[in-house]
Chains A and B, each alone.
Chain A
Amino acid sequence: MTLLGDFALWAAVLVGAWCAVISFSGRWRDRPDLAATVTRSTHALLVCMLAASLALWQGLISHDFNIEYVAAYTSRNLPPYFIVSAFWAGQKGSLLFWAVVLSLFGSLAQTLTPRRYSDLLPHVAGVTSAVVVFFVSVMLASANPFERLPFTPADGRGLNPQLQNVGMVIHPPMLYLGYISITVPFAFAVAALLSRRLDTGWIHAIRKWTLVSWLFLSIGITLGMWWAYVELGWGGYWAWDPVENASLLPWLTMTAFLHSVMIQEKRGMLKRWNLGLIIGTFLLSIFGTFITRSGVISSVHSFTQSNVGYFFLAFLVVAAIFGFTLLYTRWPLLEPEAQLDSVVSREAAFLFNNLLFVGIAFSVLWGTLFPILSELVKGHKITVGPPFFNRVNVPLGLLLLGLTGVGPLIAWRRASPENLKRQFLWPGVAGLLTLAGLLAAGMRDLYPLMAIALAGFVLGTVVQEFYRGMRARMRMHAESPPMALARLVARNRRRYGGYIVHLGLMIYFVAFAGMAFKQEQEATLKPGQSVVMRSPFGHTYKFTHLGISQYEALNRIVSAATVEVTKDGKPDGLITSEKRQHVDSFRRPTFEPSTEVGIRSGLQEDVYVVFAGAVNGTEEAVYRFNLNPLVWWVWYGGFVLVFGGLLTMWPGGGPVLRGPRGAQAGYRAALAGK
């Protein structure tokens, strides 16, 4: 099957290269048959990549340890679902995963795009195929997943214990899907620039793709936080690690685009900015791949260091020069159709929101690359870790949260003082009441205080928007409140889905603020001994060590330490944390013993128990106990955010494509005169 895999990769290079060359040469313009062939070749590319993927999966499932990748990432006793996920666990397999998913998206883009944009499709096929060819070339040149060993080991090494987690089965594909799907909007942007069809058509063509990409990135980032929390054992979910930062960068710029594209759709403005954002987002997705795979910056998440980083760096430079040069050459064709009327307008608020999103992205990128820059300038290395990022980014994040509440309250084009007063009154009161409540409760920490107060303001904004829309429907259509709410959302999914996304973001910030009050304690306990902790919510927990049991499981020897928990004097069950020594099918140790934390999640706080190890080989155990406030709300915030995103992109109920904007001017004049 490796022969089939190798053959499929070479065939993919040939098919993809042919498609890209014909596409960019423009020969298809006078030859409809060539144009049809170009678009059809994306399907052929998909077939090649599927064949290569099936060949690798066949090797994994059949335990063909003569394949270096199979021997490095699986063993005979690895549970089946981890054998499947081993496909993307390593450098080589994940490159193949990238290529096959991109070829699928390239093929889907050709199939699902409405016919009115068919003149863009050959260029789109060219771009997606060129990117697939790049990934396959990297595999063939430096990271071939079908590489064979000179001997066949009796068993493989198995999967890294930290990757043997359900989060790692789902999280990497989600993140990859996010990264990869960005290529499609980029391809449409390039197609629009090449074909000089720079009206808002291409924007409509990519709307769903940008949302899909943003959704997958959101899910991937949230699942990544969850994996770090349950698997890495440090009691947190975000450490400003370079690879974490790399996933955040395209999310930030894509979120900026999702806001600014509304201005282009409504007013025909920000065309250059939006194209720049799409090109930048694609480059950041490649940059993230470069960071993860090059080893240029150390990270707990990165793949083994290899020379594929050079390929990605070269591709990044070429793609940046190509994209921005193309944008520059079309600059005169991208004149805005209107000008901003006022600083106090929804458009201006979106502009400032974009400035903040891009500013935060710059700040994260700057912090991630600053060690390299510092080494170049000062000649010695420095470390840029969480204290740096928190100092620089927390104030910016709070500003962004504030704007999340402000944006929806300001009218399009120009807001009058009366309008502002009417819109800001209740959200402002909500924010101030939240602040007063927190101060009365004795909270004095500046950042958490501001985060939760601003969250109150955002919540006030969202509730007011829903309430007013609902009330308008009830009055105009004589509907009951639930019916009015349902129809309000169904008829304008984009707007109200967006508000639900804002709610999700607000929940995130409140949850992040909660972690400022986390409690930690380390204790060494003999069986029967206890330790007592008090949580920020005033609960008293008592942990009594019961003992350590050892037993064998499928691919590991487990040492399980158990504590009995009481909360405010009442029994609250048992929590077990484990040390796992993974072994191969010959019971030979494969990795260092790993730790599995014990977690009891609650709405107020998580009880997080880590078994650090035993003292002198006895049952005397060293534990770390954490009481982590509001962590559950991070996952809930992610759920709300994704639900809002899904609602926004659900078919039907989309934006009403209005005619000329002039009709609205009369309305504004009369209202302003009132």
Chain B
Amino acid sequence: MSGEGRPAPGGPLASRRRFLLTAGGGLAAAVGVTGVLRAQGEEPLAGQGATGTLRDPSVVGRPQDATHPLDNSEAIKRIEQRLHCTCGCNLDVFTCRTTDFSCTYSPELHREVVALYQDGKTAQQILDAFVAKYGEKVLMAPEPVGFNLWGYLLPGAVITLGAAILAVVIGRRERVRSVALAAAPGSEGGGGAPPVAATPEELERLRAALAEVDD
């Protein structure tokens, strides 16, 4: 009976099992191959895929974040160029974050600027917020008010005063000299030397000679 109830080898049941085994194996193989392929797609070596993994990421410096659109904002750049990085370097926030890629301060300060900017603050309000938080030294140049005005105005004032004194002193000497020369007998205002009679051609030659040698 049992023999009767069992499907004969090569019968319909055997065919179904073989079908299922084949189909299952094929599916498993397909899944496995896909998994392997996906894994290879995620981490190929540098230069062997769309975005390979570096052999030694530890030697490329601090990991970088992908660029945010506001990183290239001209308005943010102008604000950051007026802010001093607090890491101890002598650079502004923009220059430090785009130069010293090991600095952890300037990216943080940049995020603060971006956050304030996204809150709708104006450039001056952002600068004021930084001064309130970090003190006046956070500005790359002090505001031209109070004592700071000396810093801005003194060099120009010294030069202007010097130029004025020079002009007055030389002018006064020139006038005194002119008066003295005019008073001197036989003078024609030519420094006291007798005039030299010369033809226009001679004078032109003289001028050319002087132009050549006079330094």
Contact = CB atoms under 8 A, between A and B. Distances in A.
Contacts of A619: 46-47, 51-54
Contacts of A593: 59-61, 102
A234 B167 CA distance: 44
A359 B63 contact: no
A383 B138 contact: yes
B139 interface: yes
B151 A613 contact: no
Contacts of B174: 340-343
Contacts of B211: 468-469, 472
A547 B89 contact: no
A374 B167 contact: no
Interface string B186-207: 0011111111111010010111
Contact of B173 (A232, A340, A622): A340
Contacts of B92: 385-386
Contacts of B192: 665
Contacts of A356: 159
A620 interface: yes
B213 A492 contact: yes
B56 interface: yes
Interface string A599-615: 00000000000101111
A355 B162 contact: yes
B203 A674 contact: yes
Nearest to A383: B84
Interface stretch (B4-12, B27-35, B93-101): B93-101
B120 interface: no
B185 interface: no
Given A234-B98, A377-B147, A617 B90 contact: no
B154 A348 contact: no
B152 interface: yes
A417 interface: no
B132 interface: no
A669 B102 contact: no
Sort chain A's interface into a size bin. 35 or more
Nearest to A233: B99
Contacts of A362: 155, 158
Contacts of A666: 190, 193-196
Contacts of B156: 363, 392, 395-396
A622 B166 contact: no
Interface string B39-55: 00000001100111111
A672 interface: yes
Contact of B190 (A300, A473, A547, A669): A669
Interface in B76-104: 77, 81-82, 84, 88-92, 95, 98-99, 101-102
Given A387-B140, A593-B102, A618 B194 contact: no
B67 A622 contact: yes
Contacts of A592: 61, 102
Given A355-B163, A669-B188, A412 B54 contact: no
B194 to A, nearest CB: 7
B101 A384 contact: no
Interface residues of B, number: 86
A547 B47 contact: yes
Nearest to A589: B59
Contacts of A152: none
Nearest to B136: A382
B142 A384 contact: yes
B3 interface: no
A367 B151 contact: yes
Interface stretch (A122-130, A247-255, A326-334, A523-531): A523-531
Nearest to B171: A343
A132 interface: no
Given A298-B90, A378-B147, A673-B188, A559 B195 contact: no
A377 B136 CA distance: 14
A550 B159 CA distance: 56
A343 B138 CA distance: 46
B63 to A, nearest CB: 6
Contacts of A526: 50-51
A215 B200 CA distance: 43
A619 B191 CA distance: 81
B33 to A, nearest CB: 24
Contact of B191 (A391, A475, A494, A669): A669
Given A239-B91, A339-B173, A662-B193, A670 B203 contact: yes
Contact of B136 (A380, A498, A557): A380
Contacts of A589: 59
A528 to B, nearest CB: 7
B77 to A, nearest CB: 7
A388 interface: yes
A392 B137 CA distance: 19
Contacts of B167: 343
A586 B187 CA distance: 89
A359 B141 contact: no
Contact of A300 (B90, B173, B195, B203): B90
Given A388-B140, A396-B155, A593-B59, 17 more contacts: A234-B98, A348-B166, A359-B158, A363-B159, A366-B154, A374-B142, A382-B139, A382-B148, A386-B140, A391-B141, A549-B47, A559-B60, A613-B60, A622-B66, A666-B195, A669-B195, A673-B188
22 contacts: A299-B90, A300-B89, A366-B155, A382-B148, A383-B139, A383-B140, A384-B142, A386-B92, A387-B140, A395-B156, A473-B212, A476-B209, A476-B212, A521-B72, A548-B54, A579-B59, A593-B60, A593-B61, A612-B98, A614-B60, A666-B196, A674-B203
